[in-house]
Amino acid sequence: MSYKQQVATSLHAALQKLEIADFSLEKLEEMLETPPNPQMGDIAFPCFQLAKVLRKAPPQIAAELAGLVKSDYLDKVEAVGPYMNVFLNRSLVTAEVIGTIAKEGSSYGNRSIGQGRNVPIDLSSPNIAKPFSMGHLRSTVIGNAIANILEKHGYRPVRINHLGDWGTQFGKLIVAYKRWGDEEKVRAKPIKELLSLYIKFHEEAEKDESLEEQGREWFKRLEDGDEEARQLWQWFRDESLKEFMKIYKLLGVSFDSTHGEAFYNDKMDRVVRLLEEKDLLVESNGALVVNLDEYEMPPCLIKKSDGATLYATRDLAAALYRHETYDFAKAVYVVGNEQRLHFQQLFRVLEKMGYEWAKEMYHVPFGMMLKDGKKMSTRKGQVVLLEEVLAQAIEDVGKVIDEKNPQLANKEEVARQVGVGAVIFHDLKNFRLNDVNFSWEEMLTFEGETGPYVQYTHARACSLLRKGGYRADTPDIAEGALDSSEAWTVVTLLNAFPDVVDRAREQFDPSQVGKYVVDLAQAFNKYYANVRILAEDEQIKHSRLHLVSAVVTVLREGLRLLGLAAPEEM
C-alpha cells in the first residue's frame, strides 16, 4: 500500500467513527493534497467538502479529525485552519518505497487492468515512395511509447503500420518510371529516386496534358490487377519499406502488422454493401456519401463518381477488420492533428452503423514539428530528412564521448543509443498537441531537459553502485542514513511513479513520463551533490546505495517506456 493509501485508510476509519459513509477510499485518496511548503506537513486534507455533510465549520472538522486519524505511518497530525495536515513517518515510508522497488524491479508500477486484451495502435503509417516525414516520426515515437505504457498495464498492444500504399499517385509513378526511370537508381536510393520521378511527372504534366490521363489509366490497371502494374507497385512498396525499416531499426520500433491501405482493396465492397443495407448511403453529385449533419460535420465521402473508393472507405474497412481480428478493448490512432475531422467522421459513421465498439476508438492527435517557426515539410525544399537527423545526432554524441570518455568500451553502440534517444526524447518531453520546435542545441545537450541528461544521470548512478560495491540484497536501511530533505524528495518522486504511468495511460500522454524522469534525475543529482553517498560507514553507505539502486530501476523503466535505452556507462 502506498503511503497515500495508508493516509486515506486511516481517514476512512476516522470518518466511520463520525458515522460518515459518503466518501470512498479512492475518493479520499483523490482529495489529498500536497501542502505548499514542507513545514506544514507532507499531506494535507481539506475539510470543505465534509463541512456540507457534517454541517459544521471546516476548522472544527479539521480539529476533530486530527484527534482521530492514527497510523504507524504518521508522526504527527495537526489542524491548521480548514486543513488537516499530516506529517509522515519518513523513515518508515522511505524503507517501504525502497523495499517495494527492490522487490518488484522493472515491474514496479505494473497493473493488470488491461486483462490481456488487445489494443491495436495505428502508428507511423508513412506513404510509400515519399520521404518519411517529421510527422511520421512523431507518430512512430508517440505511438510506440503509448504501446509500451498500455503493455505495462496489462493490455496487449498491436502495433500496426497502416502504410499509405494505395491511391492515384501510384498510377502517375508508374507512368513516370516507365518514361524516365532507371532501375539501378531506384534500387540504390529508392525514396529519393521515386520522389524525383513523382516531381518530374508533375512538371511534365503541366506541358503535356495527356500524362494525367495516362496516370489515371495506369491506376485503373493497377486496381484491376494488371500484371505489369502490380509488379511495379509491389517493387516500389518493397524498396520503400526496406528504407523505412532502416529508420525503425535505429529507433528500435517494430510492428505486428504492416497491412497498409492496399490490403483493404478486396474488403471495400463489403463496407459499401453494409452501408447500403443500413440505409446510410446517399448520392451527392454522383458520389456516395454518409450524411453527418446531425453531428454538424461535413458528409463522409465513400465512393467517388468514377467508382473509386477513398481514404475514409479504407479506414472503415480497416476498422471492421481490426475489430474482427483483435476483438479490441480500445483502438488507437496516432495521427497528426490535421486529420482530426477525418477520424471524427470515421467514428461517427461507425456509430451510425450501430457498432457499440466505436465508442472505444480514440484518435490521439499531435502537433507539428517546426523549424524556425515554420512547418518542416518534405515538399518545399526545406526538407530535413529523418535519416540525416538521426545520423547527425549519433555523430554529435560520438564526438562528445570521444572527448569526455575516450576509453568507453562500446562507444558506437552508446553513441547510437544516446543520439537516437535525444531525438525521441526531444519529441516526447512536451505534451503531444504542442508543436515541437526542432532544435539541435536543445536536443543534444547533456544538461537540461533532454534524453542525454536523463541517460547520463542513470549512468552516473550505475557507476556509483559499481564503485560502492553494491549488493542487491533485501534493503536494510540504517537508522538516519537517509534523513535529508534531498533524499526525501527522491523518495516521494519514486513513490509517485505508478501514479504518473496511470495518468500517462489515461491521457495517452507519454510526456507525463518524460517530465517525470527529468524531475527524478534532477532530484537525484541534487541528492548526489549534497550527500556523501559513498560514506565511510559501511552500513550507511549501503543504505544510501539502496536508494541509488531504486533510482536506477525507475529511471531505466521510465526510459524504456519512452523507447530509450539506458546504457550503464557513457
Q: Which is nearer to ligand ARG, 342 or 560 (CB)?
A: 342
- 282 close to 289: Cβ distance less than 8 angstroms: yes
Grid cell locating 135: 510527422
Kindly report the backbone phi and psi dihedral angles of residue 363, in degrees, each rounded to the nearest multiple of 5, phi listed first. Answer: -90, 125
* Binding residue count for ligand ARG, defined by CB under 6 A: 9
Beta strands in 90-154 (DSSP E): 118-122
- 542 close to 389: Cβ distance less than 8 angstroms: no
| Footprint of ligand ARG on 122-141 (CB under 6 A) | 122, 125, 127
CB neighbours (10 Å) of residue 299? 16
| Unique residue bearing C-alpha cell 483502438 | 331
Q: Is 181 in the site for ligand ARG (CB under 6 A)?
A: no
| Segment 343-348 long-range contacts (CB within 8 Å, at least 24 positions apart) | 344/295, 344/297, 345/292, 345/297, 345/298, 345/300, 345/312, 346/300, 346/312, 346/315, 346/316, 346/319, 348/292, 348/295, 348/297, 348/300
Q: How far is the CB of 335 from ligand ARG (least distance, A)?
A: 4
Grid cell locating 390: 538521426
Q: How far is the CB of 122 from ligand ARG (least distance, A)?
A: 5
Closest to 341 (Cα-Cα) out of 368, 365, 316, 319: 365
Q: Which is nearer to ligand ARG, 162 or 556 (CB)?
A: 162
CA 20 – CA 471 distance, rounded (Å): 49
Q: Which is nearer to ligand ARG, 4 or 162 (CB)?
A: 162
Q: From residue 238, how far is each of 131, 161, 193, 221, 243 by CA, in Å?
A: 14, 14, 14, 20, 9
Q: How far is the CB of 172 from ligand ARG (least distance, A)?
A: 17
Q: Which is nearer to ligand ARG, 331 or 477 (CB)?
A: 331
- 346 close to 380: Cβ distance less than 8 angstroms: no
Residue from 162, 352, 542, 546 touching ligand ARG (CB under 6 A): that is 162
Q: Select the span of 60-68, 81-89, 119-127, 436-444 touching ligand ARG (CB under 6 A).
A: 119-127
Residue from 84, 335, 518, 565 touching ligand ARG (CB under 6 A): that is 335
Q: Select the span of 15-23, 29-37, 121-129, 497-505 touching ligand ARG (CB under 6 A).
A: 121-129
Q: Which is nearer to ligand ARG, 32 or 310 (CB)?
A: 310
CA 162 – CA 513 distance, rounded (Å): 26
Which one-letter amino acid corresponds to residue 382? Q
Encoded one letter per residue, x for contact with ligand ARG by CB under 6 A and - for no contact, window 85-114 reads ------------------------------
Q: How far is the CB of 194 from ligand ARG (least distance, A)?
A: 15
Q: How far is the CB of 315 from ligand ARG (least distance, A)?
A: 5
Handedness of CA 473, 476, 477, 478 (dihedral sign): negative
Q: From residue 393, how far is each of 426, 452, 512 by CA, in Å?
A: 12, 11, 24
Exposed, middle or buried by CB within 10 Å (0-12, 13-18, 19+), for 349?
buried
Q: Is 333 in the site for ligand ARG (CB under 6 A)?
A: yes
Residues in the chain: 570
Q: Which is nearer to ligand ARG, 236 or 527 (CB)?
A: 236
The DSSP result for 404-420, as a single string, is H-TT-TTHHHHHHHHHH
Q: How far is the CB of 135 from ligand ARG (least distance, A)?
A: 7
Q: Is 549 in the site for ligand ARG (CB under 6 A)?
A: no
Q: How far is the CB of 334 from ligand ARG (least distance, A)?
A: 8
Q: Which is nearer to ligand ARG, 298 or 480 (CB)?
A: 298
Q: Which is nearer to ligand ARG, 162 or 546 (CB)?
A: 162
Q: Which is nearer to ligand ARG, 47 or 163 (CB)?
A: 163
The DSSP result for 274-297, as a single string, is HHHHTT-EEEETTEEEE--GGGT-
Q: How far is the CB of 287 from ligand ARG (least distance, A)?
A: 20
CA 74 – CA 120 distance, rounded (Å): 45
Closest to 443 (Cα-Cα) out of 394, 489, 404: 394
Q: How far is the CB of 294 from ligand ARG (least distance, A)?
A: 24
Q: Is 315 in the site for ligand ARG (CB under 6 A)?
A: yes
Grid cell locating 161: 503500420
**DSSP label of 358:** G
Q: From residue 315, how far is each of 271, 319, 320, 326 by CA, in Å?
A: 10, 6, 9, 16
Q: How far is the CB of 63 from ligand ARG (least distance, A)?
A: 58
Q: Which is nearer to ligand ARG, 85 or 125 (CB)?
A: 125
Q: Which is nearer to ligand ARG, 120 or 510 (CB)?
A: 120
Angle of CA points 137, 140, 145, to nearest 5°? 130
Q: Is 165 in the site for ligand ARG (CB under 6 A)?
A: no
In the complex, residue closest to ligand ARG by CB: 164
Q: How far is the CB of 136 from ligand ARG (least distance, A)?
A: 6
Q: How far is the CB of 144 from ligand ARG (least distance, A)?
A: 15
Q: How far is the CB of 124 from ligand ARG (least distance, A)?
A: 9
Grid cell locating 50: 465534509
Residue from 164, 171, 365, 419 touching ligand ARG (CB under 6 A): that is 164
Q: Which is nearer to ligand ARG, 275 or 319 (CB)?
A: 319
Q: Which is nearer to ligand ARG, 58 or 143 (CB)?
A: 143
Which residues would be at the binding site for ligand ARG (CB under 6 A)?
122, 125, 127, 162, 164, 315, 318, 333, 335
